[in-house]
Amino acid sequence: MNISTNNVTIRNAESSDAELLCAWWNDGKIMAHAGFPNGIHTTVEEIRNSLATDTDDRRRHIIEYDGRPIGEMDYRNKGGNTAEIGIKICDFTMQEKGLGTMLLSLFIDALFHRGYDKIIVDTNTKNKRAQHVYENKLGFKKVHVHENAWRDQSGELQSAIDYELTKDDWLCSGRGQDRE
């Protein structure tokens, strides 16, 4: 999937992106929100090999702003016409600018037009910014809270919220366009 509008592009991650992804994924400041305050300790080769397995059922993407990589997105087919998504704006100077909402809107719209009927996402209960975007900006519904469900690398208990958004709710909200 490759989406471009104005100065933003969401493109399929390629083998040549492995070095960049490795730097981001091994950076504890970037990965702390996901429970990896020490990074994930991966290698360029491991990422390159993993990217080679991407299919239309699971795909990683690079987010570019004015042609410069600033983050990543991904989706995974969970069956039953449901896609699980993720987003990370890794360039801290590009956070808090409304890009996440706009990027997610483009991505969600594209996934619904690819045949998915439901999008799911989760976030840490401490990530209030993501919760605001999912609930108030995009219309996701909270379906479950997992209290103290796992420990991060530091041993601290973490909790997460599961969200879902249906294609019908997306289209009825006026956020998406019915292209069928």
Q: Per-residue confidence at 174, pLDDT binned at 50, 70, 90?
A: confident
The HSE-up count of residue 166 (CA atoms within 13 Å, CB side) is 5
The residues near 2 (Cβ < 8 Å, ≥ 6 apart) are: 9, 10, 11, 12
Q: What is the mean pLDDT of residues 117-146?
A: 96
Q: Per-residue confidence at 99, pLDDT binned at 50, 70, 90?
A: very high
pLDDT for 55 beyond 80: yes
Helix H or strand E encompassing 126: none
Residue ranges of domains in the chain: 3-172
- Tell me the CATH number for domain 3-172: 3.40.630.30
58-65 vs 141-151, strand pairing mode: unpaired
Q: What is the rounded radius of gyration, in angstroms, for the C-alpha atoms of the chain? A: 16
Mapped onto helix, strand or coil, the DSSP state of residue 131 is helix
